[in-house]
Amino acid sequence: MLEILVVDDEQEIAKALQDFFTEKGYNVRIATNGKIAMEIVKEHRPHLVFLDIRMPMMDGLSVLRNIREFDKSIKVIMVTAFGTKEIMLEAKRLGAVDFIRKPFTPAYLKHDVIDKVNVQLFGDLREEIEEKNKLIDKLEHLNEKITRNFYQTVMSLAAALESRDRYTHGHSERVDMYSRIIAKEMASFGLEIDKKFLDNLHIESRLHDIGKIAVSDIVLNKPGKLTESEFIEIRKHPGESAKILSPLDNIQENIDVIYAHHERVDGKGYPARKTESRIPLRAKIIAVADAFDAMTSDRPYRKAIPVETAFRELEKNKNLQFDGNVVDCFISAYNKKRKDSMSRKVQVGSGALEKI
């Protein structure tokens, strides 16, 4: 609690200040002479002192000098009925922070005196808050810069993977595009999808297969059917992605999603055989976008299939491999986009949907 000391030989004046500031929540002590005042100052170190100038035994200026010698951080406001200009100047020179005149009217206490006290007691605090706000601004700016750099790193990682694997060139970019289409369609049906969700989905789509960097070229680009051991190797890529990304502090939330992009809602997926409710929504979205792009793009072991055939595959696997709602949203959103694109005479086809 903030402590105030009122030093005045006139009891009524001291009492008026004490009552007023006690009501405002301060702890207010009274001293009727300089000697008692110094004892209280030494024992309680008040934050602020109202100090009368004319007092018997020790006058206000002497008390002020003693207070300042004891502790310069104590604020002293001089209280005077008839102080001369010289006395005021001397008090200021000795370190008094302000002056008030007595006797006090209620209005003078309520407006002027309280203002002076607030300036003295909270002025420093205000400066401190302003300084802190400036620091917060700087940190936010720095944080934005780090986030921008982080996004650039993400893009470089994705590009590094795709430059190794000619068949999946553009794959993560298209998965990113399809995932966004799905999320926006789900939002139009009332699902709460905010900017943070979309930003996370962007990172996760772009990096979902980053673990394939650890898969050998022979397996990755094999033109024929994979053997059982080659399947095992390729199925390690979600775990490898998690390992590669784990040192990045601000991506921890995304790793769970990336790790789960090959899970199936019927629990027959990999690597953890998670079921329905344990698979993050964004992983379910990426799973549909990923499968659609895989089906509609050329792969080393087979040619791309038409969009309608891919849709039928997605439908067939609703609530088995894929979340049914996600499939429905994707097909309806894709068809809407395709219609829009056609009406704008933009060529569309497998994997060539206009970018949103």
CB of 295 to Fe ion, least distance (A): 12
Backbone angles phi, psi at 222, to 5 degrees: -65, 125
CB of 299 to Fe ion, least distance (A): 11
Region of 55-63, 140-148, 206-214, 307-315 interacting with Fe ion (CB under 5 A) = 206-214
Contact between 186 and 212 under an 8 Å Cβ cutoff? The reply is no
Backbone angles phi, psi at 7, to 5 degrees: -110, 110
CB of 268 to Fe ion, least distance (A): 16
How many residues in total does the chain contain?
Answer: 356
User: For residues 98 and 290, which CB has a smaller minimum distance to Fe ion in the complex?
Assistant: 290
Helix (H, G, I), strand (E, B) or coil at 28: strand
Helix (H, G, I), strand (E, B) or coil at 189: coil
CB of 306 to Fe ion, least distance (A): 20
Q: How many CB atoms lie within 10 A of CB 107?
A: 8
DSSP-derived secondary structure for 281-314: HHHHHHHHHHHHHHHTS-BTTBPPPPHHHHHHHH
199 token code pair: 């930003």
CB of 286 to Fe ion, least distance (A): 8
User: For residues 77 and 288, which CB has a smaller minimum distance to Fe ion in the complex?
Assistant: 288
Contact between 37 and 44 under an 8 Å Cβ cutoff? The reply is no
Told to check if 209 binds Fe ion by CB under 5 A, we report yes
What residue has token string 């297969």? Answer: 209
Told to check if 204 binds Fe ion by CB under 5 A, we report no
Number of residues that bind Fe ion (CB under 5 A): 2
User: For residues 73 and 163, which CB has a smaller minimum distance to Fe ion in the complex?
Assistant: 163
Question: Among residues 290, 326, 330, 353, which is the contact residue for Fe ion, using CB under 5 A?
Answer: 290
User: For residues 28 and 260, which CB has a smaller minimum distance to Fe ion in the complex?
Assistant: 260
Region of 3-11, 148-156, 217-225, 289-297 interacting with Fe ion (CB under 5 A) = 289-297
User: For residues 29 and 264, which CB has a smaller minimum distance to Fe ion in the complex?
Assistant: 264
Region of 123-131, 158-166, 207-215, 331-339 interacting with Fe ion (CB under 5 A) = 207-215
In angstroms, the CA 290 to CA 313 distance is: 13
CB of 167 to Fe ion, least distance (A): 11
User: For residues 40 and 295, which CB has a smaller minimum distance to Fe ion in the complex?
Assistant: 295
CB of 329 to Fe ion, least distance (A): 19
- Euclidean distance between the first and final Cα of the chain, in Å? 59
User: For residues 101 and 299, which CB has a smaller minimum distance to Fe ion in the complex?
Assistant: 299
CB of 272 to Fe ion, least distance (A): 14
Q: How many CB atoms lie within 10 A of CB 306?
A: 12
Interaction pattern, residues 232-271, with Fe ion; x per rule: CB under 5 A? ----------------------------------------
CB of 124 to Fe ion, least distance (A): 58
In angstroms, the CA 87 to CA 85 distance is: 5
User: For residues 209 and 328, which CB has a smaller minimum distance to Fe ion in the complex?
Assistant: 209
Between the CA of residue 115 and those of 28, 46, 140, what are the distances in Å?
A: 17, 18, 34
User: For residues 209 and 323, which CB has a smaller minimum distance to Fe ion in the complex?
Assistant: 209
Region of 5-13, 14-22, 214-222, 286-294 interacting with Fe ion (CB under 5 A) = 286-294
Contact between 40 and 16 under an 8 Å Cβ cutoff? The reply is no
In angstroms, the CA 204 to CA 179 distance is: 10
In angstroms, the CA 244 to CA 63 distance is: 70
104 alpha carbon, distance to own chain's centre: 50
Residues of the shown chain interacting with Fe ion in the complex, contacts defined by CB under 5 A: 209, 290
